Homo-oligomer: A and B are copies of this chain.
Amino acid sequence: MTDPLVVFTPSGKRGRVAPGTTVLDAARRLGVDLDSVCGGNGICSKCQVVPVPGPHPKHGIEMGTGALSGPNAVEERYDRVRGLRPGRRLGCQATVMADAVLDVPPESQVHRQVIRKEAGDVAIALDPATRLHLAAVREPDMEDPSGDFERLRDALRDQWGIEGIVAPLPVLAALQPALRRGGWQVTCAVHTPRRGAPILVGVFPGLREAPPLGLAVDLGSTTIAAHLCDLSTGAVLGSGGVMNPQIRFGEDLMSRVSYAMMNPGGADRMTEAVREALNALAREVCEGAGAAPEDVFEAALVCNPVMHHLLLGLDPVELGQAPFALAVQGALELETREIGLALAPAARAYLLPCIAGHVGADAAAVALAEDPGARRETTLVVDVGTNAEIILGNERMTLACSSPTGPAFEGAQISAGQRAAPGAIERVEIDPDTKEPRFRVVGDARWSDEPGFDAPVTGICGSGIIEAIAEMRMAGIVDASGLIGSAEATGSERCVPDGRTFAYVLRDGIRVTQGDVRAIQLAKSALYAGARLLMDEMGTDVVDRVVLAGAFGAHISPRHAMVLGMIPDAPLDAVRGAGNAAGTGARMALLNRGMRARVEALVSDIRKIETATEPRFQEHFVAANALPHATAPFPNLRAVVPLPEGSFNAQSGGRRRRRRA
């Protein structure tokens, strides 16, 4: 008689096994992804399967009712005490007696896919670096005076194939009580680093029910965001954010570098501040999820180079001056306590690699999340912050640069500028005929001309100023050169004199000045010039897709961005916001070891283009000053958006070369 045939779904893996083989053993033999923490002792229930009796013409099997053995004492006990869902069987107890089709539900798969709900299009395959394993350890014996750790190491080797594990002191300190309380069974949190021996990062008596947790951190200059993830399911258990307290030492990165240069001990103070904030955030996010920082066994962190150095306790001074040398560029694997982060006592940190001296691990994370190298089309990824990180890639090559946009896009250097906090104007529309504006403020869903609008209005934030100037351009209040016209020239009383230039009054006390337009022009010219430089390097004049990454990118309207010429011309529907792509990259690296290899490979393949030393950058910068651009035709934009001609500059207007929309 031939051995029974087993087919596992959804993988479709199939093969014959000897009658009496457990389902878990059959799965392992056939390479089927079936989880187990307890190693087949019938206590963790991670190996549940769903038998599918009946005819399966597709597989050529008719599964009878006796195809699996009935529940044995272990399985009955588990069902009685803990409860098994109807139709479920414990894979480590049920044995195969005849041909069978067995479904492995997602929660029984180690490498299940985690769908990112908030953005919908990135699926993260789960393959965490830290996993739990139950180990049965030989008791000590005076005839064989090996240490408890050595016997645990042997148990992990023999029972789980984990070779040569090492244990840091805090875990060694927990080992002896855990072994004795657990009756010589312990759950081991085992971390597999990118390089070197596996590391025992936690040890707990008996079977640990609580899943191992991980923290994905996007450490920005302005805000720090963290996601707490269940490493066994990939689920996000909680998220949170705090302001980066380093702001008190300097609003933007360069002022923080200056602070470090000018103040002895300044870098250390900033290091301390950011570490404290990170700890507070970790505690808060854990608390919100009903967990404790001690349950978190690893963190994946992304940040720009200055934050990267300050987090690590490295003086960022070299990042403030050419040639912008990083102290260390590659990915780092550390204990979180080395960077002052109090999670589980031996928790591990993975810092994604930086791309260059001012293209950081945050840009690397964006590259990982968006992976432009995986497509034939050419994708431009722009992460807009105080500096813009720009990545241009397709399946042939990926290029990256950083462009010094300055903080204007964040509302700084703008006369009525403020952070995106309640009271800040964030959306603006200007009627092209009446030149009258309406707007919305952060914290209120109504437009300013809707009934009942009475929110206090305190200033204008980054996305607000971009929309305002783009609307002014479309309404003919600002010309292509960026000049604001007078009331006579524009036909709007809202254009008021402001010294030797004009300003547009959005509301009493809040106006867009000529200086504001100039600040945005400088910022957007830098951004466009960086993108254009990469296009030159690639030898292309068009991009097929544009991704606006970064928290700020999520709030910029593609149409307004293109009216200002922040980004090269492209079909408007090919421009999309990617939300916090850097944070997504951090989560991918947290949940999947392969993504760590991937981002390291990506970064070493990316060609870095230095904007500061490239003469063409200056040319592109000058040409990009106009709105949208002095020479580039922007056909996609002009096909859908009217851009009034005419100049408000009496002297130069007549000589200016014009293009038709």
Contact = CB atoms under 8 A, between A and B. Distances in A.
Majority secondary structure of chain A interface residues (helix, strand, loop or mixed): loop
A124 interface: no
Contacts of A483: none
Interface in A222-270: none
A295 interface: no
Interface in A135-190: 139-143, 145-150, 167-169, 172-173, 175-177
A75 interface: no
A315 B173 contact: yes
Contact of A147 (B140, B141, B327): B327
Interface stretch (A15-23, A351-359, A551-559): A351-359
Most B CB within 10 A of own CB, among A145, A168, A197, A359: A145
A535 to B, nearest CB: 19
Given A314-B172, A328-B148, A330-B147, A323 B197 contact: no
A308 to B, nearest CB: 10
Given A196-B197, A334-B169, A338-B169, A148 B613 contact: no
A139 B322 CA distance: 12
A325 B148 contact: yes
A442 interface: no
A145 B312 contact: no
A328 B177 CA distance: 13
Nearest to A337: B338
A313 interface: yes
Contacts of A471: none
A328 B147 contact: yes
Contacts of A610: 142-143, 145
Contact of A328 (B150, B325, B330): B150
Number of copies: 2
A140 B328 CA distance: 12
Nearest to A147: B329
A613 B142 contact: yes
B312 A147 contact: no
Contacts of A453: none
A324 B169 contact: no
A318 interface: yes
A314 B203 CA distance: 14
Given A140-B323, A196-B196, A313-B169, A145 B329 contact: yes
A146 B612 CA distance: 17
A317 B175 CA distance: 12
B145 A327 contact: no
A329 to B, nearest CB: 3
B173 A140 contact: no
Interface string A352-390: 001111010000000000000000000000000000000
7 contacts: A140-B323, A140-B325, A142-B322, A142-B357, A145-B608, A169-B339, A176-B327
- 3 smallest beta-carbon distances between A and B, as pairs: A145-B356, A147-B329, A140-B325
Interface of A: 139-143, 145-150, 167-169, 172-173, 175-177, 195-197, 312-315, 317-318, 322-330, 334, 338-339, 354-357, 359, 608, 610, 612-613
